[in-house]
Amino acid sequence: MVTNLPAEARAKWIKVMEAKTPEEKLAALQEFLSAVPKHKGTENLVLWARRRMAVLREEIEERKRRRGGGYSFFVEKEGAAQMVLLGPPNSGKSSVLARLTNARPLVASYPYTTVKPQPGMLTYKDVQIQLIDTPALSEEGGGLNSRIIGLARNADGIIIVVGLDEGFLEQYRLVVRKLEEANIVVRKPKGRVVVERMRGAGDVKVIVSGRMIGYTVSDVKALLRSYRVYSALVRIYGETTLDDVEKAIFENTSYKPTIVLANKADLPGSAVRFKRLKKEVPPTIPVIPVSALRNKGFEVVGEAIFNVLGLIRVYTKQPNGEVADRPLVLRQGATILDVARAVHSRLVRNFRFAKIWGPSAKYPGERVGMDHVVMDGDIVEIHARG
Ligand SMILES: Nc1nc2c(ncn2[C@@H]2O[C@H](COP(=O)(O)OP(=O)(O)OP(=O)(O)O)[C@@H](O)[C@H]2O)c(=O)[nH]1
Ligand SMILES: [Mg+2]
C-alpha cells in the first residue's frame, strides 16, 4: 500500500505514533498529511488519514462534552464484553434490546425514538454481555452519526439491526458504509498484525502464530527500520502479507466482530428478503432472522455473540478446593498466563505449574506450564510458591 513514502513523511509518521493526546495526534497527522505526495499510489493513505482526523476531532469534542459536564454518549463497560446495536431508524433496535435484556427502552412507530444510548445486560452460559441501544444512524446524521460510531469504536463488537421491510439492503449498506468512513471494518480479516512500540533501546521482537505469506521476519524488521521503529513487539496472527504489517504500522483499520439481526421476520415477504440479505453479508458474519414482535429467533443470539467474540470460559479452583461458580471470561488463544493474570499478579510472579481438567487437558489433572493454551470449559488449578 504505502510503498515509497518519502523519508520526510516517514519521519512525520513517527510523530503521529508518539503523540499521546488526541490533540497532539491530530496536529501530527495534519503535518504528516502535508508531507505525503498526492498521487494515485497514496490515494488510500490520504483518504484514511483524513478519516482518522475526522474521528479524532469527534473524540476531542466528546471529551470536552464529558469534562464540561455536558451530555456524553460514553457508556462504562460492564460484564465480560460490550456490544453496540447499530441500525437505521425504526429497524427495531430498541425492541431487540428489550427482548434480549432486562432493559425496557422506549419503542415507537415513529423514527428517531431513541435519542441516547441505553445499556442492558444479556446472560449467556454464566457470562454477562452488555448490549447498548443507540439512536438511529442515517445518511444525513452528521455529528450524531459520529457519536454513535464512537460507541462502536469503544465496544468489543457490533450487532447490526436491520428490518426485513422495504429498503432492507440499503439499511445494511448504510451501517457498513458509516463504519467504513470511520475506518472500522466488520469483515473478519484473514490475519492480524499488532505492532506495539516499546520504550527505550531494545529490539524488534516478532511473535508469529500463523502463516506469513511471501515475507520473513527480517522483512518485518527492515520495514520497521524504514519507519525508524527500532524497538517494538510485533504479533502476527493468521494469514498475513507484508502489506498487512505496513497497514498495522499505520493503525489503518480496526476490525469489530459483528453479527447481523434481520428483524421483522414476521412480515410478509421477509423470507425472500432474508435470503437476499444473507447473500450480501460476508460469509464470516452470522445473519440471524428474528422477530421482536413475536419474540422469535432470540434463543441463538447469545451463542452467536459468544462465538463471534471468541469468548471462552475458564473455571479456576484452589488446590484441594472447590471449583469457582463463576467463570473467568477470556478470549480464544488465552494461555495459563492469562488465567494467572486475571486471578492475581502474585500467581504470575510465583508460578510453579498448573493442573487442568476439561477440553484442553490430555488427561484429567494434566500438569502444564504458563504457555498452555486453555479452552472453553477448562478447570484450572494454579500452584504458586508461598
Ligand atoms: N412487524 C414488526 N414490527 C416490529 C418488530 N420489531 C419492532 N417493530 C416495530 O417497529 C417500530 C420501531 O421499533 P423500535 O424498536 O422503536 O425501532 P428502533 O430501531 O429502536 O427505532 P429508533 O429508535 O427510532 O431508531 C415499532 O413500531 C415496533 O413496534 C418486528 O419484529 N416486527
Ligand atoms: Mg430505538
* Ligand with minimal distance to 298 CA: 1
Instruction: Quickly name the fold that domain 81-186+256-308 has.
Output: Rossmann fold (3.40.50)
Residue with cell 478446593: 321
Closest residue CA from atom 26 of ligand 1: 109
The closest ligand to the CA of 292 turns out to be 1
Contact status, residue 355 vs residue 381, Cβ threshold 8 Å? yes
pLDDT for residue 1: 53
Taking the centre of ligand 2 as the mean of its atom positions, its distance from the CA of residue 115, in whole angstroms, is: 8
Which has the closest alpha carbon to 107: 119, 116, 98? 98
Q: Is 179 in a helix, a strand, or coil? A: helix
Could you tell me the pTM of the whole model?
0.87
263 forms beta bridges with 163
For residue 102, the CA-to-ligand 2 centroid distance in Å is 15
Q: Which of the residues in the chain have pLDDT under 70?
A: 1-3, 70, 200-201
**What atom of ligand 1 comes closest to residue 111's alpha carbon?**
24
Per-domain residue ranges of the chain = 1-72, 81-186+256-308, 190-251, 311-384
Q: What is the pLDDT of residues 233-256, one digit of tens each?
A: 888 889 999 988 988 888 777 899
* Res 376: pLDDT: 94
Find the 320 Cα to ligand 1 centroid distance in Å. Answer: 53
The cell for 379 is 478447570
CA atoms within 13 A on the CB side of 311: 26
Distance CA 333, CA 330 (A): 9
Ligand closest to the CA atom of residue 164: 1
Strand, coil or helix: 289: strand
- Say whether 298 sits in a helix, a strand or coil: helix
Contact of 319 with 383, CB cutoff 8 Å: yes
- For residue 111, give the ligand nearest its CA: 1
Site to probe by mutation for ligand 1, drawn from 107, 172, 291 as the one with most ligand atoms within 8 Å of Cβ, is 107
CATH superfamily of 311-384: Beta-grasp domain (3.10.20.30)
The Å distance, Cα 264 to ligand 2 centre, comes to 14
Return the closest-CA partner of residue 262 out of 248, 275, 251.
275
Residues with a beta carbon under 5 angstroms from ion ligand 2: 93-94, 113-114
| Continuous segment of H or E residues that includes residue 160 | strand 157-163
Other CB atoms within 10 A of residue 273 CB = 21
- Beta-strand ranges (E) seen in 323-376 are 328-331, 351-357, 366-368
Amino acid at 81: A
**Residue owning the nearest CA to atom 11 of ligand 1:** 109
Ligand 1 cavity residues, CB under 6 Å: 87, 89-95, 107-109, 111-114, 136, 263-264, 266-267, 291-293
The confidence score (pLDDT) of residue 201 equals 59
